[in-house]
Structure 1
Amino acid sequence: MRGGYNPITFISSIPSLNESNYNVWREKLEIALALSDNDLALFSPCPTEPVDPVREANETDAAFATRQRDHAEVRMKYDLDRAKWDSSNRKCLMVIKGSIEDPIRGSILEYSTAIEYLKKVKSQITGSSEAYASTLIKKLVNEKYSDGGIREHILKMSNTAPKPKPIDLGLKDEFLIYLVFASLPKGYETFVVNYNLQPDKWNIKKLIAMCVQEEERLKSSHVDKDTYRWCHKTGHYQKDCLEFLKHLIRKGIPYEDPAKRRKTQVSHI
């Protein structure tokens, strides 16, 4: 145990590996193995076994004996190094496998070294992460805003965006902002154009604030146009507005009193 550290404490802090937390898992794993003094097999290759000396044809007994003594020291060092490496490799494999969720561990072949096993784990997670991110990006591209609040719509897209994986699949705010703009209805076209013309770029928080403000402006302008423009009154549709119908007459369109039109429609029922 290095420096009084309790290896169990660090090993227990390693999160279970799933398809979305490889980077955190790998970092915690390496810290735990290092602080418990068990990480030799992760950064050092397996020691190479020395070849036993073979007596040469014209070699004297004394010379061969000397080579055998020298080799004995090399063999002893190898045996000690190999025992230490094997112990580290065995413990690393135990910790690695024990911190992987069952579905992922069951799909990984057995390997004799921790390094080989970790390479396969990364390959497995990277492949599934790419497929997972591809699915989410397709979903974001096809997302369209209809109703329910612009804030909720942006937060939903932001939460859907792939988070960083073993490879760089995280979406930057700027790209996500353009995906949000692409999902907005036609009424936001001027708003989007104005954003593209300005030098400053927004983060997601600023995007939400500005979109909520624009949504309120659009709602207000819609009410002003459809409800108040002709008579400045509420409680009826524009098609039933007397002032609006008089405006049509001035344009040369025949006028019919809305109340009379409704009475005629009722008589034909």
Structure 2
Amino acid sequence: MSSASVVPLHLHASSVKVFNGMNFYEWHEQVKFHLGVMDLDLALMNDKPNAITDKSSEDEKSFHKSWERSNRLSLMFMQMTVANNIKSTTPQTESAKKYLKFVGERFCSADKSLASTLMAELTTMKFNGSRNMQNHIIDVIPRNLVS
């Protein structure tokens, strides 16, 4: 990466929508994009390389060093873009790839089930005239989207 195009990690992170437990797909897409732009997605695309030994080639040493940097910064980046209440429920991991997989497995299905529950609720609600329209609208708005 040339020094002319270096953008600080926190500036990229600030442009990613914070993961709140209900926006996994959007967050995942933005994280992968920004890590790719910053050339830090090596750890997401490759498993951890074997440990360096005396017999390791220069290419292996170079790849290992690049992977370690990518992994460390990718983890930092993802953690910077996750809401604190979510962050406290995720396990400590040393692999960016495993962290992303855990978050996906944990929240992807929650995303889908919440969406289908809300759709079912919204499509079956009807105004019956027993109260004023303002109260009906307030009840129609899903409470977990407001808070």
Name the TM-score class by shorter chain. Answer: 0.7 to 0.9
What is the Cα deviation at residue 35 of structure 1? Answer: 1.7
Structure 2 match to 1:36: 38
Answer yes or no: is 1:106 the counterpart of 2:108. Answer: no
| Structure 2 counterpart of 1:88, from 67, 70, 80 | 70
Partner of 2:114: 132
Q: For each residue in 1:46-104, what CA deviation from the matched residue of structure 2 results, as whole angstroms up to 9, or x when unmatched?
A: 2234787xxxxxxxxxxxxxxxxxxx4x4332222111111110110111111100111
Letter in structure 1 aligned against 2:70: S
1:131, distance to aligned residue in structure 2 (A):
4.3
Supply the distance in 2 between the matched residues of 1:101 and 1:22 (Cα, whole angstroms). 12
Distance 2:70 2:62 in 1: 13
The answer on whether the counterparts of 1:89 and 1:114 sit within 8 Å (CA) in structure 2 is: yes
For structure 1, the residue ranges without an aligned partner over 5 or more in a row are 53-71, 164-269
TM score, norm. by length of structure 1: 0.43
What is the distance in 1 between the residues matched to 2:64 and 2:13? Answer: 24
Distance verdict in 2 for CA 1:80–1:5, change over 3 Å: closer
Structure 1 residue 47 corresponds to structure 2 residue 29: no
Q: Does 1:115 align with 2:97?
A: yes
What residue is the counterpart of 2:7 in the other structure? 6
> Secondary structure at the residue paired with 2:77?
helix
Aligned equivalents of 2:121 and 2:71: distance in 1? 43
Cα distance in 2 for residues equivalent to 1:5 and 1:36: 8
Structure 2 residue 80 is matched with structure 1 residue 78: no
> Is the Cα contact below 8 Å between 1:14 and 1:25 reproduced in 2?
yes
**Who wins on radius of gyration, i.e. which is larger?**
1
Unaligned runs of 5+ in 2: none
Match of 1:27 among 29, 49, 68: 29
Where do 1:144-223 residues align within 5 Å? 144-147=126-129
Deviations 1:206-240 (A, max 9, x none): xxxxxxxxxxxxxxxxxxxxxxxxxxxxxxxxxxx
